[in-house]
Each structure stands twice: as structure tokens, then as C-alpha cells.
Structure 1
Amino acid sequence: MTVALWCVLIAIFLPYLCTVIAKIGGRFGLRDNHDPRDFLESLDGFARRAHWAQLNSFEVTPAFAAAVIVAHLAGNAELVTINVLSVLFITSRLLYIICYLADWATLRSLVWFVGMGLIASFFFVSI
């Protein structure tokens, strides 16, 4: 299995890291799981930003996974290039989460654009 495919697995689990941060950082700490969606929507501050980072991570992961798969299937890109782009994407997502939690809105948006550019790069290197 390639580094890029391992990065897809990491990307799949990153939203759940944000979920744990949101639940622990909530008003009352960890809550029972009878109504977790309502609980997450009721958060504010740091915990709410962790929840929003979780939602964004769920949104972007399918695009990243598809880009990695397309790059592998196209066969035109060097494997090392695909692997490097994947590691850079995971790095950008970690930075994105940090920026979201720290409430650095402008930097967060810039990091988001970098991540989206990295996703597009998989297609360009596969041409």
C-alpha cells in the first residue's frame, strides 16, 4: 500500500479527532451520547470551532480520496509525486484544524485554499 493511500485513511479519521476535541471542550465536558448532534450544535467558542472543523473535514475528504485514486489509476504521475502531494495535503489539514481551533480565520482560509490546490494538483500531475 502506498503512502498516499495511508494518507487517505488518515484523512478519513481526522474529522473524528475534531469530534473528540469538540466533545471534551464542550460546556460540560464529555456528555452522554443520547443526542450527540444536538449537543455538538449547542457548543460555543473553541468547542464549536472544533465541530465546524470536523464538518469541513468530512466535506473535503471524499475529494482528496478521489484525487488520490484518480492519480493512481491514471498511472501518469510518479508515485513519489503522489505520495508527497498526499503528505502535504494531510499537513495542510492539520494546519487547517489548528487554525480553526485558534480562531485564525484569515490564515485558516489560506490553508484551506492550499489544500484545495493540492487536490487539484493530483489531477494536473496525472495528465
Structure 2
Amino acid sequence: MKKIYHLSSCNTCQRIISDLELKGDVELQDIKQENIDEATLDMIKEKVGSYEALFSKRAMKYRSMGLNEMNLSEADYKKYMLEEYTFLKRPFIILEDEVFVGNSKKVVEAAKKAYQA
């Protein structure tokens, strides 16, 4: 499976997708239109090690909901990500057995290298 979970209104996601130079063999899913499903979130969590690693603490709702003042468990991170797409660190890039999460330069370069291989 080759799939990218992204936010179409996010300039960073748009730039990363453009940088990957996709050949049409990758499915794009706008998480605002259709949030990630639980099975996929669980699979990505298994690859990266924790739900916290998938959770965006930069989301505006993180502070407005007071989550920054709470001690969140793995179950809490999962619950919030399934309820609200803004809590997903993005993009999530799935290329067969490899998963790339976030928009750091290192992650994007690794995804680009894996995709072009």
C-alpha cells in the first residue's frame, strides 16, 4: 500500500507531496474530509512505537482544550486523534512496509528516498 494522509489546506503537506514527485501510484487521503481509521492508526503506531509520536502538540486545540496541562495516556492520544483530525502529526506517509510521520526535513528526505527506490 502506498498512501499519504494529509491536510489539503496545509501548505507544508502540499509542498511535501510536490517534493515527492508522485507518479499516480499513491493514494491521497485528506484527513479533514475523511479522518484516519482506527486500524490504520494502530498499524502506524506499531511501526513508530507510540501514539504520542503520532500526536501533534502544535494543534491549536491542544492548548485551547487544556490538554497541555494534562498527563495524557497512550489511550488518550489515540482517542483524541480518532475524534479530531487536527491532532494528527502530518503527513503520514505509508510506502508498503515503511511509515514516515511528520514534516521534518529528515523524515521527508527518508520518505523521498524510499519512494524513489
- TM-score with structure 1 length normalisation? 0.30
- TM-score with structure 2 length normalisation? 0.32
Structure having the larger proportion of residues in strand:
2
